[in-house]
Structure 1
Amino acid sequence: MSRVDFSQTTNGIIQVLEREEPLLSSLSEDVVASRFNKQNRTIKQILGHLIDSASNNTHRIIHLQNQPSPLIFPDYANLGNNDRWIAIQNYQTENWNNLIQLWKYSNLHVIHVINHVDQSKLNNEWLNTFGDKISLRSMIEDYLPHLHLHINEIHELCQIHV
């Protein structure tokens, strides 16, 4: 079996972290707490969602390597669950600099986990809420586009009144 190279994903995550950390750090509390996207999330809540994404994907990657496939794993992203996660953790009142650092280091850990994935498990699947089967490989490959989607939302919110 030839080794699957995830460097495009991991290098892409690093590029996002290096580019976005200074921008995020430059934003005022007023900006991050008061501008809302179409899902009614503030910049703080969007970054919190990305922290949840890093955490949940780390757990999925681990479980998909040591549990029978297909894996039934809680699906935080559908049916409004991700909004409940955001509310329960109250990202809106979290210290902004702490959120930035948690986001950064959670993603550095995702990179570490991806770099050490058992290649023989890449076809293992988990079932989401809708019964869709998602392979470990496709989950890893879809991580960066999801990160870009939400970073672009933050950019759009920064441009509204800037």
Structure 2
Amino acid sequence: MDKIIKRLNYLIEVLPSRINQFSKEEITVKPNSTWSKKEILGHLCDSATNNHHRFIKIQFEDQPFVVVPYKQNDWVSIQDYQNIPFDEVIGLWTAINKQIVRVISNIPEEKLSYTCDIGNNKCFTFLELIQDYLRHLDHHLIQIFGTSEI
């Protein structure tokens, strides 16, 4: 867990300045009709919001906890990340991830083995779900920056 917390704290510290190095054109261009860099960061806000709630609920609801998926494209579209100020998207991402660090820092060790039903007859432990959140985050940061070196 310490490695995850350390990585998230590092990203919270460096991502805002690193992502602000892109021009307005670079953050809003939509290659091949996919999400722009700005929308990818917005999607990461949505992911953080959903996982923040999951990370709290898993600790107090019946086991196995059923992870309910969300319609990612619809969330990005309805929140209109493409047209809101980029500093707001960055601020939202930063604030939610700071709270996630607070939540996961306080998870009792015994709860990390709780079972999470992720659908399709697959289950993760709570710890694996947290690890998957970071993998997902890193996957999209590679899309934004073109490298895993952030």
TM-score, length of structure 1 as denominator length = 0.83
Alignment of 1:97-108 (within 5 A): 97-108=87-98
User: Taking every aligned residue pair, what percent have the same amino acid on both sides?
Assistant: 27
Q: CA deviation at 1:27?
A: 2.0
Q: CA deviation at 1:69?
A: 0.6
> The residue matched to 1:133 in structure 2 has which SS?
strand
> Which residue identity does 1:139 align to in structure 2?
L
> The residue matched to 1:127 in structure 2 has which SS?
strand
Point out where structure 2 has 5 or more consecutive residues left out of the alignment.
none
After the TM superposition, which parts of structure 1 deviate over 3 Å for at least 4 consecutive aligned residues? none
Describe the shift of the 1:72–1:144 C-alpha distance in structure 2 as closer, same or farther (beyond 3 A).
closer
> Which residue identity does 1:104 align to in structure 2?
T
Q: What count of residue pairs does the alignment treat as equivalent?
A: 147
Equivalent position to 2:12, from 17, 22, 26: 17
Equivalent position to 1:91, from 81, 95, 102: 81
TM-score, length of structure 2 as denominator length = 0.89
Cα shift readout 1:113-133 (whole Å, capped 9, x = no counterpart): 000113222122222242321
> Which residue identity does 1:125 align to in structure 2?
T
Point out where structure 1 has 5 or more consecutive residues left out of the alignment.
1-5, 158-162
CA RMSD of aligned residues (A): 1.8
Q: Contact 1:70/1:127 (CA < 8 Å) preserved in 2? A: yes
Alignment of 1:142-161 (within 5 A): 142-156=132-146
Equivalent position to 1:73, from 67, 73, 88: 67
> The residue matched to 1:66 in structure 2 has which SS?
coil
Q: CA deviation at 1:11?
A: 0.5
